């Protein structure tokens, strides 16, 4: 048998590393909103075509530390109008809890209840439950229109809740239970960065 004149040639393919997305800390100076910024976001969202729905979604996400999927998944059976409570279900192995509803929240929920039907609170234009992607897009657009000076994403509302409670002097255990954390280490970030911890360290 004649030997082949063909020679082995090393492949010319070069393995290139996939570029990694920068961490959030490198893209933003902070990962939460202040209460004033949330109110500006709500006021901007009210100007949307479905402004009442959008503003209420932002308000509830902030007041109850809800993730995008959690606020979209809210059902009327979770709203206790008689006792002024919201039964919060968590994802990611979070712990469920019952939160009190304020007068402002109850008024907006009653308005929405009169205008919607079906088991879910927040419905899309097509009559299906709102999804997390649509909510996140709405929040991001509202953040751009509100011109808050930082890039906004929906999870900043949950962080805003945690930092607000920490700055109010709420103890870490209560914040943990309110946000549904299964591990208190996840809650410590809020109390660790609370500006009120350092008040009085220097005096003029």
- Backbone angle region of 33, left / alpha / beta, with phi > 0 → left and psi within -120 to 50 → alpha: beta
The more confident residue out of 23 and 120 is 120
Check if the beta carbon of residue 54 is closer than 8 Å to that of residue 48.
yes
The structural domains of the chain, ordered by start, are 30-192 (1.10.443.10)
The active-site residue, picked from 53, 90, 158, 176, is 158
- pLDDT bucket at 107, cuts 50 / 70 / 90: very high
Active site residue 197: no
The more confident residue out of 168 and 7 is 168
Question: How far is Cα 178 from Cα 180, in angstroms, rounded to an integer?
Answer: 5
The active-site residue, picked from 62, 163, 178, 190, is 190
pLDDT in tens, 112-167: 999 888 899 999 988 899 999 999 999 999 999 999 888 999 999 999 999 999 99
- pLDDT bucket at 203, cuts 50 / 70 / 90: confident
Cα atoms found within 13 Å of the Cα of residue 5, Cβ hemisphere only? 0
Task: Give strand pairing partners of 88.
Answer: 97
**What are 91's two structure tokens?**
């994802």
The active-site residue, picked from 28, 89, 155, 189, is 155
Active site residue 155: yes
Active site residue 203: no
Active site residue 92: yes
């Amino acid at each position: 048998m004649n030997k082949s004149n063909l020679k082995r040639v090393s492949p010319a393919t070069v393995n290139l590393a996939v570029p990694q997305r920068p961490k959030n800390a490198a893209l933003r100076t902070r990962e939460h909103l202040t209460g004033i910024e949330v109110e500006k976001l709500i006021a901007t969202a009210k100007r949307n075509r479905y402004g009442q729905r959008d503003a209420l979604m932002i308000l509830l996400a902030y007041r109850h530390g809800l993730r995008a999927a959690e606020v979209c998944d809210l059902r009327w059976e979770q709203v206790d109008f008689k006792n002024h409570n919201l039964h919060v279900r968590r994802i990611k192995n979070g712990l469920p809890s019952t939160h009190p509803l304020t007068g402002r929240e109850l008024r907006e929920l009653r308005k929405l209840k009169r205008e919607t039907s079906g088991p879910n609170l927040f419905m899309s234009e097509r009559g299906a439950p709102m999804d997390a992607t649509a909510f996140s897009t709405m929040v991001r657009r509202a953040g751009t229109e509100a011109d808050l000076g930082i890039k906004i994403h929906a999870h900043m509302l949950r962080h805003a809740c945690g930092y607000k409670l920490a700055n109010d002097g709420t103890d870490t255990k209560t914040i943990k239970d309110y946000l549904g954390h299964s591990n208190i280490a996840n809650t410590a970030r809020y109390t660790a960065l609370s500006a009120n911890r350092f008040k009085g360290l220097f005096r003029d």
